[in-house]
């Protein structure tokens, strides 16, 4: 399965944020969407998630036989950097509700097993979500997306402002979940992208450009990317 | 020291002018239409900054005149007027004019000063400029607070000395002219010192150093209650002799000295902590003119659980209602109780009138018979029938008989659907909209149906109460015109309530107009709201026979629900998005 984006354009008034996005994402890989602050990473995700209308272009899934399938809302899991959760529910209540409304899901774990998997502390599970820490809210958001098991996972800077331990736990979960789906992980932190992702894609000047993955891990790699971002910005 | 004071003060004034000017430009740029024309260069236009600065100085001087000069000047004038009145009427034999004048002036001034103390912002309060100065520019909080305090005291002394000219013109003694500003300073010192003392005590007990706003409000309310008493006593010729007033002033002065000592003991760490513990965002909110009103929706407690049989959206809705019951259910319940209390009072009045005329035995008979009449849908029967010839009674009967759509008014008052949709958005939908399942057509309509039923249930009691109220009027003014009119009146009220709730719930789903601060950000929603309000206002005046109205309402409600559900099903997935 591939996720294909073809000539996607998005403008706000006269400002063209996404100029001509054309890219193919492959199943089972984590793509690091790298771009500077304000480069349009969140806009790109919002377009894919149909939160905002696009001006032109299309995106779809393509199977091995080359057949196109439209992207449905249930195909997408979207994690935002500042998660909002229904504050009037406890973690357990929210998870119960989430599993119940996804009738198509046949959970292979109990609620507590899911909590254990995501390392949600026991004393947090029956507290209102409004009292959760930022990190635990992030874990909850991730857990819900794991349960929903979408074909396409959009992660919008989900590790921002997490402590070292939780960030590491989240990275491991993302790595473990990459099989059978396409994961696009946006970040403006180069180190995180290099550490976590199989492929790196630059979003700059409104376009997506792949970076040769064979260089990933080279000492010069970071400098090359920084130079590329600077060059394009100056261009 | 003076140099340090001057330097600190200049920094504060400079920063305040920047914040004030930028805040003004920001507010202008946020104004519809004008905002789009204004360029960003406005932030750096020196000419406009100078104009703002001149305007700012004028406002400062104006405030000085209004608050200080006008305040004390009026006290002098009022004291002068009273003194002449007392002397001319011979109400205080033996008292000199000067001492009487001073006594009145001191009394009113002390009341005025204490009220001012309670109303004005505390020396330790948080402001944006203070926050920047202390936490970003690393300024000493104590030095900053006391510089501003001294600046305030200086304005106070100047203002009161100028006001003293009015006192001198109307014959105030020289010592009073000089003494008033000193007394004002000492009262302020006492107030500030008392706060410092209280805050230090809190620090000792490891409590947050919150400023006590509630205490100030209570004290101010007490002062407002004392004022009429003082006015009444003064109007009746009473006055407090000057030596007593001077004694009180002396005590205030001593308290002022105590206050000074307390202020001196309040070190810079205390000042910084108070500032930190009282940080708010009210000033920025004032600039944006759209305050964050989510606070009222965030008072949640994990109280209990819901029936385990409920699943999915039923479970979500039950939990939502349980955790928001005070917010959503309280208004309809209070309305229902009020209607029943009014009905109770009306019934009690009828019984009382009857009792007065015919005595207890007959009264018991009458009550018994009429309870039976009520149950059997008959009319009220007694020998009084006081409302039959009464014009008010005739008018209300006319409304209940042929203008039942007027019941839309109480139903609209009792309805809480709009606020409920705000709570739904801010505490539930806003978060769930980030999940794809929540935006699926089938799921949207499923939750819509559950919520619609919930709204009907919540508003059922006030609708029935409104119908019963209309029936009570009918009952006391001749009974029903045709069989089952009582019943149909209640049915009409319920249907009106159903339609009213549906309008606001469907509008929420169709436009999703709220931002993350529950402000409305949708022009089309606002326009629709105005149109709906106008239509509902017109409908209220339409005359209608209750029987025909019931039939029409039954058909209309069914069609309306069908259409609204179709619209929500079709359009809500497109609008079901978070607005920033």
Q: Do A126 and B440 touch (CB under 8 A)?
A: no
Torsion of CA B107, B111, B112, B116, to 10 degrees: 150
Q: Looking at per-residue confidence, does A218 or A211 come out higher?
A: A211
Output helix, strand, coil percentages for chain B, rounded to the nearest 5.
80, 0, 20
B367, pLDDT greater than 80:
no
Residue A170: phi, psi to the nearest 5? -65, -40
For residue B317, give the chain A residue with the closest CA.
A97
* B80-128 pLDDT, tens digit each: 888 888 888 777 777 788 888 899 999 999 988 888 888 888 888 888 7
Element (H, E) at A2: strand A2-12
DSSP 3-state of A18: strand
Mean pLDDT of B357-370: 73
Report how many helices (DSSP H) and strands (DSSP E) chain A contains, helices first: 7, 10
* A92-118 pLDDT, tens digit each: 888 888 888 887 778 888 889 989 888
B323 touches chain A (CB under 8 A): yes
Do the interacting molecules here have an ipTM over 0.85? no
Q: Do B320 and A49 touch (CB under 8 A)?
A: no
For residue A94, give the chain B residue with the closest CA.
B316
Tokens 């330097």, residue located: B7
Domains in chain B: boundaries: 2-288, 312-575
Give the DSSP letter of residue B43. Answer: G
* A216 pLDDT tier (thresholds 50, 70, 90): low
A100 touches chain B (CB under 8 A): yes
* Pairing relationship of beta strands A2-12 and A56-62 according to DSSP bridges: antiparallel
Of A130-139, B476-485, B487-496, least confident by mean pLDDT is B476-485
User: How confident is the prediction for chain B on average, in pLDDT?
Assistant: 84
Q: Do A87 and B427 touch (CB under 8 A)?
A: yes
Of B202-206, B375-379, B475-479, least confident by mean pLDDT is B375-379
Q: Which residue in A100, A141, A150 is closest to B311 by CB distance?
A: A100
A13 touches chain B (CB under 8 A): no
Q: Which residue in B323, B430, B436 is closest to A76 by CB distance?
A: B436
Q: Which residue in B427, B432, B436 is closest to A73 by CB distance?
A: B436
DSSP string covering B413-458: HH--HHHHHHHHIIIIIHHHTTSGGGG-HHHHHHHHHHHHHHHHHH
* pLDDT at residue B488 in the model: 92
For the question of whether the overall pTM of this predicted structure is more than 0.80, the answer is no
Q: Looking at per-residue confidence, does B317 or A164 come out higher?
A: B317
For chain B, positions 324-383, list CB contacts with chain A under 8 A. 324
Of A82-91, B296-305, B481-490, B543-552, least confident by mean pLDDT is B296-305
CATH H-level, domain A2-39+53-234: superfamily = P-loop containing nucleotide triphosphate hydrolases (3.40.50.300)
Contacts of B443 in chain A (CB under 8 A): 101
Q: Which residue in B313, B431, B577 is closest to A86 by CB distance?
A: B431
């Amino acid at each position: 399965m591939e996720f294909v984006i073809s000539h996607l354009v998005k403008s706000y008034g006269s400002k063209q944020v996404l100029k001509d996005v054309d890219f193919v994402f492959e199943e089972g890989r984590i793509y690091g969407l790298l771009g500077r602050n304000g480069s349009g990473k969140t806009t790109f995700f919002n377009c894919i998630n149909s939160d905002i209308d696009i001006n032109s272009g299309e995106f779809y899934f393509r199977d091995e036989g080359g057949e196109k399938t439209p992207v449905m809302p249930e195909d997408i899991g979207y994690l935002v950097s500042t998660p909002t959760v229904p504050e009037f529910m406890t973690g357990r209540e929210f998870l119960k509700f989430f599993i119940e409304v996804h009738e198509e899901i046949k959970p292979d774990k109990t609620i507590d097993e899911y909590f254990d998997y995501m390392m949600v502390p026991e004393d947090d599970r029956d507290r209102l979500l409004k009292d959760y820490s930022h990190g635990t809210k992030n874990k909850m958001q991730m857990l819900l997306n794991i349960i929903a098991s979408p074909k396409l996972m959009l992660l919008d800077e989900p590790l921002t402002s997490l402590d070292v331990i939780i960030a590491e736990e989240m990275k491991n979960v993302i790595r473990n979940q990459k099989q059978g789906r396409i994961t696009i992980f946006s970040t403006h932190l180069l180190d995180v992208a290099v550490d976590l992702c199989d492929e790196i894609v630059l979003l700059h000047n409104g376009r997506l450009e792949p970076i040769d993955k064979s260089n990933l891990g080279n000492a010069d790699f970071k400098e090359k990317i920084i130079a590329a971002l600077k060059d394009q910005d100056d261009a | 020291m003076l140099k340090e004071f001057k330097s600190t003060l200049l920094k504060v004034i400079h920063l305040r002018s920047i914040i004030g000017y930028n805040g003004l430009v920001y507010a202008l740029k946020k104004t519809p239409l004008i905002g789009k024309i204004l360029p960003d260069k406005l932030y750096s236009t020196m000419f406009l900054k100078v104009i703002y600065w001149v305007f700012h100085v004028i406002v400062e001087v104006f405030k000085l005149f209004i608050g200080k000069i006008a305040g004390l000047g009026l006290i002098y004038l009022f004291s002068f007027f009273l003194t002449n009145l007392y002397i001319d009427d011979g109400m205080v034999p033996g008292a000199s004019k000067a001492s009487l004048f001073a006594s009145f002036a001191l009394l009113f001034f002390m009341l005025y000063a204490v009220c001012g103390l309670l109303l004005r912002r505390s020396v330790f309060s948080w402001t944006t400029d203070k926050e920047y100065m202390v936490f970003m520019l690393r300024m000493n909080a104590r030095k900053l607070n006391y510089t501003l305090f001294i600046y305030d005291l200086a304005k106070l002394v100047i203002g009161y000395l100028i006001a003293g000219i009015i006192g001198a013109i109307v014959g105030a003694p020289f010592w009073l002219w000089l003494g008033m500003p000193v007394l004002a300073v000492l009262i302020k010192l006492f107030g500030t010192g008392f706060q410092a003392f209280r805050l230090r005590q809190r620090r000792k007990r490891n409590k947050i150093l919150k400023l006590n706003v509630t205490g100030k409000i209570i004290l101010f309310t007490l002062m407002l209650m004392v004022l009429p008493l003082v006015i009444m006593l003064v109007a009746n010729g009473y006055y407090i002799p000057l030596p007593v007033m001077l004694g009180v002033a002396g005590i205030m002065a001593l308290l002022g000295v105590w206050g000074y000592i307390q202020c001196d003991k309040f070190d810079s760490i205390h000042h910084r902590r108070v500032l930190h513990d009282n940080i708010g965002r009210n000033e920025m909110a004032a600039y944006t003119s759209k305050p964050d009103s989510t606070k009222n929706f965030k008072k949640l407690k994990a109280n209990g659980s819901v029936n385990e049989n409920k699943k999915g959206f039923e479970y979500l809705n039950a939990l939502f209602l349980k955790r928001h019951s005070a917010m959503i259910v309280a208004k309809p319940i209070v309305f229902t109780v009020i209607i029943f209390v009014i009905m109770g009072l009306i019934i009690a009045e009828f019984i009382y009138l009857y009792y007065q005329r015919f005595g207890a035995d007959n009264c018991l008979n009458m009550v018994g018979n009429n309870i039976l009449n009520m149950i059997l849908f008959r009319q009220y029967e007694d020998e009084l029938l006081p409302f039959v010839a009464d014009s008010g009674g005739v008018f209300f009967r006319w409304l209940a008989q042929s203008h039942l759509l007027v019941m839309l008014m109480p139903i609209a008052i009792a309805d809480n659907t709009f606020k409920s949709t705000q709570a739904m958005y801010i505490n539930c939908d806003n978060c769930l909209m980030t999940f794809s399942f929540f935006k699926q057509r089938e799921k949207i309509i499923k939750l819509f149906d559950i919520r619609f039923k919930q709204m009907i249930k919540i508003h059922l009691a006030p609708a029935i109460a409104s119908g019963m109220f209309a029936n009570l009027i009918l009952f006391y003014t001749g009974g029903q015109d045709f069989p089952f009119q009582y019943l149909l009146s209640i049915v009409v009220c319920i249907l009106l309530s159903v339609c009213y709730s549906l309008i606001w719930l469907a509008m929420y789903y169709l436009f999703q107009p709220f931002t993350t601060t529950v402000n409305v950000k949708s022009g089309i929603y606002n326009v629709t709201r105005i149109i709906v309000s106008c239509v509902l206002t017109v409908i209220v005046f339409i005359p209608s026979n209750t029987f025909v109205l019931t039939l029409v309402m039954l058909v209309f409600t069914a069609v309306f629900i069908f259409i609204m559900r179709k619209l929500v099903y079709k359009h809500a997935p497109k609008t079901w998005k978070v607005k920033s």
